[in-house]
């Protein structure tokens, strides 16, 4: 078989193999074809692992079968369920050779042409290599079958692959036992018919490419004087000295005023943790490497972080958002995907993001909160995770509030004195290098972080949905600062959960003219302060709704 069109047309995703061994010369030629595939920036990030061990094949087969059950249950179409049972979706043990095609994520630690616009380019290169291998095997009378129904985390564990090596899947290699009547197997078994020609459409009109930025001009009706008077009277008539419940009375009044009822109720409380990576981290402003962002998200998803513990303790729903982490998470995780890009660019010598990306952040954050409100939630807390985000937050605070960078920079993840001074110097230089306009939008696009701006968009939407929202520590307060500059009315719905140990937080709270409920020397992030303050909010609501009045209890007011 030598005609290229014929080879391409006859390539099949093969699931039935003979027992014939694959000669070394055949696989060597095919892998060389993969090596000749396009490689973005000549990164040569594609890696190949051969599997001949029956024990390993058996383990991979068991992993496939576990996920295949979940896949089979995904359709409600009874006919499709029957068709699914007829499909042979793998040949892991039958195929004489297994091939795992991977890409090496560690190449991204160095500047590489072609990965700046999209770090996924190294993954695309590996896919190109897989296609070349497939075509070479077809030309030689052999074929492959791509098995992707796997838990990739467990798959990597079985194979002993290091963290930075990411598999595309498991490929079965051998001599095909059938030609499937010269048509794709899924088509042969009536699963779906392949179209005769590709979809092609010419784009003739120029589009701006920008998402509509969230607008927050809707101001909720102000509580009437008569309502406020009745509310204050209800609080004062409880069986206690006036004002003796201190901050609880303030919280009760705020919650009742937002919900405009003398009997408020917190429904379906929810904390959302937004995570992203920051280009400024590559300059060493954090005590931890950037990859910790990805590692911590995995920890969140597995339920092992502080925020998981506190949410479980206080019966608060928890969602994790990938706002822009430098990693391709498997699609079968319980992650909300709102990825703008794989981390911002460093703002030391240029903008962190484009204007389009900035607007998209606000839209994504808004959509996430709107979905929670639609499900009936009326109280939401905001948390964050991202190595380098205290540096980003510090610069945003500095330029927006017109404070010196020294007043806005803290230890973040716990840098020592020498590293702190280094961090200050780097961020001062970044601010000095800025030559843009002195307005909020310009600042946000140049210095912003994806998770910070998504939180700001979420806070604006929480106000629109008339929700009480909880602000965590320093970084979340900077997100609030951004949202507040866009719509000052959101202050009515915000509760500042705690004053963190990050030194700039107190200065920012004073600038906003607010006080935090708790002071526990926290500097963890993750929304932990929101989870810890929630029982206090519940107590404020409980006393307003359930505590006896002087009249009902028959107690003298004097």
The alpha carbon of residue 15 and the mean position of all alpha carbons in its chain are separated, in whole angstroms, by 35
Q: How many Å apart are CA 337 and CA 323, to the nearest integer?
A: 7
Mean of pLDDT values over 315-332: 88
Q: Does residue 210 carry a pLDDT above 70?
A: no
Structure tokens at 232: 């204050």
Q: Which residue has the tokens 């998402």?
A: 211
DSSP 109: G
The per-residue pLDDT for 208 is 59
Kindly report, residue by residue over 52-69, the tens digit of the pLDDT. Answer: 999 999 999 998 888 777
Q: Across the strands, what pairs with 144?
A: 13, 173
The alpha carbon of residue 556 and the mean position of all alpha carbons in its chain are separated, in whole angstroms, by 56
Is 360 in contact with 354 (CB distance < 8 Å)? no
Neighbours of 59 (CB within 10 A): 17
Q: How confident is the model at residue 2 (pLDDT cuts 50, 70, 90)?
A: low
Q: Does residue 557 carry a pLDDT above 70?
A: no
Is 486 in contact with 456 (CB distance < 8 Å)? yes
Q: How many Å apart are CA 33 and CA 130, to the nearest integer?
A: 9
- Pick the catalytic residue: 502, 526, 546, 557? 526
The per-residue pLDDT for 25 is 97
DSSP 347: S
More confident residue, 478 or 165: 478
Q: How many Å apart are CA 256 and CA 223, to the nearest integer?
A: 10
Mean of pLDDT values over 493-506: 94
Q: Which residue has the tokens 């179209």?
A: 195
Bridge-based pairing of strands 165-174 and 143-147 is antiparallel
- 211 has catalytic annotation: no
Structure tokens at 241: 């000295």
Q: Where are the beta strands (DSSP E) in 449-553?
A: 468-471, 494-496
Lowest mean pLDDT among 21-35, 43-57, 205-219, 366-380: 205-219
Neighbours of 376 (CB within 10 A): 9
The mean pLDDT value of the chain amounts to 89
Phi/psi at 305 (nearest 5 deg)? -95, 170
Kindly report, residue by residue over 412-448, the tens digit of the pLDDT. Answer: 667 788 888 899 999 999 999 999 999 999 999 999 9
Is 382 in contact with 453 (CB distance < 8 Å)? no
Lowest mean pLDDT among 24-28, 113-117, 210-214, 502-506: 210-214
More confident residue, 515 or 63: 515
Q: How confident is the model at residue 490 (pLDDT cuts 50, 70, 90)?
A: very high
Q: How many Å apart are CA 138 and CA 135, to the nearest integer?
A: 5
Q: Does residue 230 carry a pLDDT above 70?
A: yes
Question: pLDDT over 70 for what percent of the chain?
Answer: 91
Is 318 in contact with 173 (CB distance < 8 Å)? no
Q: Does residue 212 carry a pLDDT above 50?
A: no
pTM equals 0.69
């Amino acid at each position: 078989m030598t005609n290229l069109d014929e080879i391409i047309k006859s390539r099949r995703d093969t699931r039935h193999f003979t027992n014939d061994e694959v000669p070394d010369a055949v696989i060597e030629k095919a892998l060389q074809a993969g090596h000749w595939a396009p490689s973005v920036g000549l990164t040569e990030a594609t890696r190949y692992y051969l599997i001949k061990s029956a024990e390993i094949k058996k383990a991979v087969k068991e992993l496939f079968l576990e996920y295949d059950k979940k896949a089979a249950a995904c359709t409600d179409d009874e006919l499709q369920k029957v068709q699914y049972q007829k499909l042979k979706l793998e040949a892991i043990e039958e195929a004489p050779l297994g091939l795992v095609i991977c890409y090496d994520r560690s190449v991204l630690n160095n500047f590489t042409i072609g990965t700046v616009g999209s770090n996924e380019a190294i993954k695309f290169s590996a896919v190109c290599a897989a296609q070349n291998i497939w075509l070479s095997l077809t030309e030689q009378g052999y074929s492959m079958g791509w098995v992707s129904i796997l838990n990739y985390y467990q798959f990597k564990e079985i194979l002993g692959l290091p963290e930075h090596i990411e598999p595309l899947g498991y490929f079965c290699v051998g001599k095909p036992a059938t030609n499937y009547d010269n048509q794709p197997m899924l088509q042969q078994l009536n699963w779906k018919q392949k179209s005769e020609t590709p979809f092609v459409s010419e784009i003739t009109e120029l589009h701006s490419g920008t998402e509509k930025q969230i607008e927050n001009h809707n101001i909720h009706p102000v509580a009437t004087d008569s309502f406020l008077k009745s509310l204050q009277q209800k609080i004062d008539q409880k069986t206690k000295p006036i004002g003796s419940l201190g901050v609880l009375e303030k919280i009760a009044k705020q919650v009742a005023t937002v919900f405009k009822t003398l009997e408020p109720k917190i429904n379906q409380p929810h904390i959302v943790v937004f995570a992203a990576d920051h280009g400024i981290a590559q300059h060493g402003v954090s005590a931890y490497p950037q990859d910790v962002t990805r590692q911590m998200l995995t920890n969140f998803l597995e339920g092992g972080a502080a925020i998981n513990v506190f949410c479980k303790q206080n019966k608060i729903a928890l969602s994790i958002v990938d706002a822009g982490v430098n990693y391709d998470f498997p699609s079968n995780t319980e992650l909300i995907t709102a990825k703008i890009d794989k981390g911002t660019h460093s703002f030391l010598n240029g903008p962190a993001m484009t204007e389009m990306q900035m607007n998209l952040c606000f839209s994504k954050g808004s959509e996430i909160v709107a979905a929670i409100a639609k499900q009936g939630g009326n109280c939401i807390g905001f948390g964050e995770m991202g190595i380098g985000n205290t540096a980003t937050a510090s610069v945003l605070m500095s330029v927006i509030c017109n404070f010196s960078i020294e007043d806005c920079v803290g230890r973040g993840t716990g840098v020592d004195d020498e590293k702190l001074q280094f961090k200050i110097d780097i961020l001062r230089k970044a601010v000095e290098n800025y030559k843009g306009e002195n307005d909020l939008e310009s600042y946000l696009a140049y210095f912003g972080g994806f998770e910070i701006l998504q939180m700001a968009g979420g806070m604006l939407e929480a106000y629109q949905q008339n929700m009480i929202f909880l602000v965590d520590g320093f970084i979340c307060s900077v997100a609030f600062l951004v949202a507040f500059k866009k719509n000052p009315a959101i202050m009515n719905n915000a509760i500042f959960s705690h004053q963190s140990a990050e030194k700039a937080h107190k200065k920012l709270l004073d600038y906003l003219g607010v006080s935090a409920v708790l002071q526990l020397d926290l500097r963890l992030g993750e929304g932990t302060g929101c989870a810890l303050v929630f029982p206090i909010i519940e107590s404020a609501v409980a006393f307003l709704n359930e505590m006896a009045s002087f009249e009902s209890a028959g107690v003298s007011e004097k």
